[in-house]
Amino acid sequence: MDIVDVVALGESMIALRPSRPGRLADVPSFDRGVGGAESNVVCALAAAGHTARWVGRVGADGFGDHLVGTIGSYGVDVSRVRRDPHRPTGVYFRTAGDRSGDAHEVAYYRAGSAACAMSVDTVGLDAVRAGRVLHLTGITAALSADCLHLLRELTAPRPGRPLVSFDVNHRPRLWTDGDGPRILRELARGADLVFVGEDEAAEVWGLDGVHAVRAAIPEPEVLVVKQGAHGATLFDGERVLHVPAPRVDVVAAVGAGDAFAAGFLSATLRGLPARDRLRHGHLTAAAALTVPGDLAVPPARDHADRLAALDDTAWGRLRLGPGWTQSPAAPEEVRTP
């Protein structure tokens, strides 16, 4: 089994978005794309030059073909994706309520999907563990009892396991039995690296502030608490570091969390220091925020490295807008006031 930089396991779905602004009830047609927290991460990592594998399960249908083909086109290894002849590929519809806000309509059609049948017996654990990093999210745990058992197996202590990265990714609609907060905390405490939003931790666990989050999840060596436009705080052993986010001219407020995880993981794989890991997370999130849709190509590595190396004053002036990832300009010229 070839060892890759990152393996991600989870459900990817067909994303259908209105071809023009409006309510789902009113728009006449939709554009097809792909969406899935875990596959978003490995697509961004592959585009950034890392070897990446997505492990999942799709229907033996045209939508499944499109998912596998699209994710594979980013350079992601999709050879371990399984086809289910009895269950369909999941689908969701989403429309932004305004250009830059979080208001939107979402309609999921994922109950009984092929991904719900992922289990320790159906995914091939050797392929899942054959990475330097294994990236998981709380979404998978909510899909079915088999999926939860699978995540418990993958986050359990095991000699020689890869670095386990876990994004809490709380989805209230998926947790219908009230067990979500307890299970998500359990899985987070079994990981080596955890991503969670400060507002998310308040919603799920009633925690107030980044230090309360760390107190509730003390086990992971690294904890990243994302704070939206205010930045992110890193707990790494005994070290605590806050790095502000650059200002961003938002096109669509989707996909930023997955992109942040991808940027942070990329910098981690490269052995970069803590400040640069957070800055690369912010830059990759900005790449997602300045394009429509969930998937965004990250900035070229040398471009991102130049921006991440700015001094604190220049970083504080940084403002990123649509097209910034392709900018040939010097760092101080990239949309700074």
* Closest C-alpha among 129, 133, 220, 119 to residue 168: 220
What DSSP line would sit under 214-262, residue for residue?
HHHS-SSSEEEEE-GGG-EEEEETTEEEEEPPPEE--S--SSHHHHHHH
* Closest C-alpha among 282, 290, 288, 285 to residue 307: 282
Q: Which two tokens stand for residue 89?
A: 């590929």
End-to-end CA distance of the chain: 50
Q: Which two tokens stand for residue 3?
A: 């060892």
A 10 A CB-CB count for 86 gives 9
Which of the residues 77, 84, 167, 258 is marked catalytic? Answer: 258
Q: Judge whether 258 counts as a catalytic residue.
A: yes
The alpha-helical segments, DSSP class H, found in 80-220 are 125-128, 138-141, 145-155, 180-189, 198-205, 210-216
Whole-number CA gyration radius for the chain: 19
Task: List residues with catalytic annotation.
Answer: 258
